[in-house]
């Protein structure tokens, strides 16, 4: 996995256009809490959203439903400060490691997966 951030290449030198986007020009962004390693949410980014994220260290996504960019926490105050960005082996998914302030999910839950398990826990 290639990493852009604290210990990886300079974010300013990274070219978001080098990644593989779907037919809508988007790629999935898996968002993980840097401290707990909890998966918080899945969002979508285009090359510009990724550029903005790398430049500001504030998670910026493309809203498929609204057809516009959104900076996580801009209206809710539930901010995601990006610590590290990694690209998967195929170059078609990014992993954002963030410091989350407040709930990650728009429903007010800690993650978008909280309370939504569909299988039995066999631990």
> 17-54, pLDDT tens digit by residue?
889 999 999 999 999 999 999 999 999 999 999 999 99
CA atoms within 13 A on the CB side of 78: 15
Place 117 in a pLDDT band, splitting at 50, 70 and 90. confident
- Report, as an integer, the average pLDDT of 71-91: 94
| Domain-embedded: residue 57 | yes
| Domain-embedded: residue 19 | no
In which domain, by residue range, is 77 found?
1-6+38-108
> 94-113, pLDDT tens digit by residue?
999 999 999 999 899 999 99
Q: What is the CATH number of the domain that holds 83?
A: 3.10.20.810
Q: From start to end of the chain, where are the E strands?
A: 2-5, 27-33, 39-45, 60-63, 68-71, 80-87, 94-100
Number of domain units in the chain: 1
**Strands, sheet with 2-5, edge to edge from the N-terminal-most edge strand:** 2-5, 80-87, 94-100, 27-33, 39-45
């Amino acid at each position: 996995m290639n990493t852009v951030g604290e210990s990886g290449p300079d974010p300013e030198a990274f070219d978001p256009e080098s990644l593989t986007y779907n037919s809508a020009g988007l790629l999935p962004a898996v968002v993980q809490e840097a401290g707990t390693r909890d998966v918080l949410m899945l969002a979508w980014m285009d090359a510009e959203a990724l550029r903005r994220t790398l430049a500001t260290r504030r998670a910026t996504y493309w809203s498929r439903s609204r057809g516009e960019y959104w900076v996580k926490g801009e209206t809710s105050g539930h901010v995601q400060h990006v610590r590290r960005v990694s690209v998967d082996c195929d170059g078609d998914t990014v992993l954002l490691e963030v410091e989350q302030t407040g709930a990650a999910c728009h429903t007010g839950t800690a993650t978008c997966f909280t309370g939504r398990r569909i299988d039995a826990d066999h631990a």
